[in-house]
Amino acid sequence: MSGILSLWNDTPAKKEIIDYVNAITDPRSYDFVPEAERIAILDNDGTLWVEKPAYVQLFFSIERLKQLAKADPKLLNQPDFKAAATDDMAYFARLDPHAGGNVKEAMKVVFDSHTGMSQDDFMLIAK
């Protein structure tokens, strides 16, 4: 498995992933999974990335927009806050650049939901 996750720092998470892959691909292992039964979807950096029904980050952003709008109802005058507050997922689906949406409008959702948030704040909110 040399070269696997070679750009990752040596961390417990990296070790767990490598140990898991070794276990499920070793026919002598109790955890062995036959190749035909294995499914893995990895992003560019080797991490799992849920894309359907939407990116996890989108759901985080929508929930954050809801929280911000609840704290300041004037924000409901902006389309992304209103769509979040009313669970208008069709609005967010239209923003998807892969489906012909506008990247600038899609990124506005991220900017609106993350503006002014420190990394520590994000970690607390995300938990």
Higher pLDDT, 119 or 100: 119
Same structural domain, 8 and 61 = no
> Can you give the pLDDT at residue 41?
62
Q: H or E element: which one contains 105? A: helix 103-114
Beta bridge pairs of residue 42: 48
Task: Establish if 51 belongs to a structural domain.
Answer: no
Domain count, the chain: 2
Same structural domain, 76 and 114 = yes
> Can you give the pLDDT at residue 5?
73
- Sign of the CA dihedral running 93, 98, 102, 104: positive
Same structural domain, 84 and 117 = yes
Same structural domain, 11 and 73 = no
* Interval 38-77: pLDDT, tens: 887 666 555 666 666 667 788 889 999 999 999 999 999 9
How large a percentage of the chain has pLDDT more than 90?
41
Same structural domain, 1 and 31 = yes
User: Is the per-residue pLDDT at 4 higher than 70?
Assistant: no
